[in-house]
């Protein structure tokens, strides 16, 4: 029966190894300290950068999402106006007044010149172009919206 060689990391008898302060390592203690010294703080710096990037993303979303939600609500309201205008045979002036009232309700900065209404034989088309500027403290972001809705008659 052969006897097995038993090298324990604590006795320092393994070939090419060094025993340093209760740990088993393959390099000199000075090289280990220098390597760790150059790596010190790199993990914290990356974490701080990611945290700053995430905070910037959240800040932009807090500023932009309400504008996008207002646009969605406004477009939905204009679609409803177009449907009812077709059913009740409203004039373009009545439709224009209803759209401007909806814009005011949904906090959409809309002028009469940005609004184009076509109402011909029961078909109503509403084309709107407007812009909203979002202040991001370091940048002014202009969001351009072009909602266009229509209600073609079924006949």
Is residue 119 included in any domain, yes or no? yes
Is residue 8 included in any domain, yes or no? no
**For the chain, what is the domain count?**
1
Is residue 46 included in any domain, yes or no? no
Query: 92-105 vs 42-88: helix axis angle to the nearest 10?
Result: 150
Tell me which DSSP letter residue 22 carries: T
**Structural domain range at position 119:** 60-151
CA distance 11 to 8: 6
pLDDT tens digits, 69-96: 999 999 999 999 998 888 888 889 999 9
Is residue 126 included in any domain, yes or no? yes
pLDDT tens digits, 91-108: 899 999 999 999 999 989
Is residue 89 included in any domain, yes or no? yes
pTM, 2 dp: 0.67
Is residue 139 included in any domain, yes or no? yes
């Amino acid at each position: 029966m052969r006897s097995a060689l038993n090298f324990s990391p604590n006795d320092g008898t393994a070939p090419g190894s060094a025993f340093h302060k209760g740990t088993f390592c393959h390099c000199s203690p000075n090289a280990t300290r220098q390597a760790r010294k150059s790596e010190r703080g790199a993990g914290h710096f990356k974490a701080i950068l990611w945290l700053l990037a995430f905070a910037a993303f959240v800040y932009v979303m807090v500023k932009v999402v309400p504008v996008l939600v207002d646009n969605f609500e406004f477009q939905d309201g204009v679609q409803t106006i177009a449907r009812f205008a077709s059913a009740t045979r409203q004039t373009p002036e009545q439709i224009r007044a209803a759209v401007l009232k909806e814009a005011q309700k949904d906090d959409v900065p809309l002028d009469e010149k940005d609004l184009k209404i076509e109402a011909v034989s029961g078909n109503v088309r509403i084309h709107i172009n407007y812009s909203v500027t979002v202040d991001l403290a370091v940048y002014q972001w202009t969001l351009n919206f072009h909602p266009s809705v229509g209600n073609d008659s079924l006949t």
